[in-house]
């Protein structure tokens, strides 16, 4: 193999990794509001902020636009998409339907398998309770997110996992921003325990109902908060 061909092979091998790195870095900056909603910048400026080159940032931004996290404006750069309350209402409609189905599928797994999933979910819920008792709201948020990610990932349907990840990325900022305003955090822990108990029993209908009730209650708490505090974009 010639030196030129070897060099091209190295570039081809490295390029997806660079794009993946740019994608992960941009998504994290958006989720944690390092790049705030409405922020607009050129690809070069974003690349400089992330310590990367422009090409992987360009390719990563295309993926993020498909997920609804950014908008590419020709000749003007990249805009971080903001969410309105109506956007969150639509997101919760999707989350409620999908997570209820995921919980039902987990409860239908063979006993040994669903018991293992229940143990994982219980561990995440225990971390939530510990973080809440200590007043560590960011840790509570991370443990809560882990619970819902595990519920979907362990249901055995890869398409459900892909769909829910997109809407969760879109809603993450709003959930974290309103943690200090929400009064029903202990109720979330109780809701999780009800889901876990239904899964352990193999009660598919009960798991579906418990998961649906949990996310519906969260929606009914969050959306009025946004209205009360006049938060029109997140």
Residues 71-129: tens digit of each pLDDT: 999 988 999 988 788 888 898 999 999 999 999 999 999 999 999 999 999 999 999 99
Which residues are 80's β-sheet partners? 70
pTM of the model: 0.78
Predicted pLDDT at 14: 47
Token pair for 139: 């840790």
Does position 183 have pLDDT exceeding 80, yes or no?
no
Number of residues that make up the chain? 234
Predicted pLDDT at 150: 96
From the list 213, 186, 166, the residue with the least C-alpha distance to 66 is 166
- pLDDT tens-digit series, residues 6-46: 444 444 444 568 999 999 999 989 888 889 888 999 999 99
Predicted pLDDT at 100: 97
> Could you give the C-alpha distances from 224 to 52, 94, 140, 182, 230, in angstroms and in order?
40, 19, 22, 10, 10
Element (H, E) at 71: strand 70-73
Mean pLDDT of the chain: 87
Token pair for 168: 């969760």
Please give the DSSP secondary-structure letter assigned to residue 77.
Answer: E
| pLDDT greater at residue 31 or residue 160 | 160
Mean pLDDT calculated for residue range 143-165: 92
Domains of the chain: 3-80 (1.10.10.10), 85-228 (1.20.120.530)
Q: What distance in Å separates the CA atoms of residue 47 and residue 37, rounded to the nearest whole number? A: 18
């Amino acid at each position: 193999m010639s030196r030129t061909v070897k060099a091209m092979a190295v570039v081809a091998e490295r390029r997806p990794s660079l794009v993946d790195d740019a994608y992960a870095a941009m998504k994290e900056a958006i989720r944690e509001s390092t790049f705030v909603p409405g922020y607009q910048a050129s690809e070069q400026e974003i690349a400089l902020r992330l310590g990367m080159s422009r090409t992987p940032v360009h390719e990563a931004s295309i993926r993020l636009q498909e997920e609804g996290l950014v908008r590419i404006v020709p000749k003007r750069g990249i805009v971080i998409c903001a969410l309105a309350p109506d956007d969150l209402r639509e997101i919760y409609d999707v989350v409620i339907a999908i997570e209820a189905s995921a919980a039902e599928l987990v409860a239908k797994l063979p006993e040994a398998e669903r018991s293992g999933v229940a143990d994982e979910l219980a561990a995440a819920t225990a971390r939530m309770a510990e973080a809440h008792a200590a007043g560590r709201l960011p840790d509570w948020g991370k443990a809560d997110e882990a619970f819902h990610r595990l519920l979907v990932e362990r249901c055995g349907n890869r398409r459900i996992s892909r769909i829910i990840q997109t809407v969760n990325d879109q809603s993450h900022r709003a959930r974290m921003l309103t943690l200090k305003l929400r009064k029903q955090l202990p109720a979330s822990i109780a809701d999780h325990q009800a889901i876990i108990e239904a899964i352990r029993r193999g009660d598919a209908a009960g798991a579906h109902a418990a998961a649906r009730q949990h996310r519906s209650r969260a929606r009914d708490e969050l959306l009025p908060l946004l209205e009360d505090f006049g938060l029109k974009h997140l």
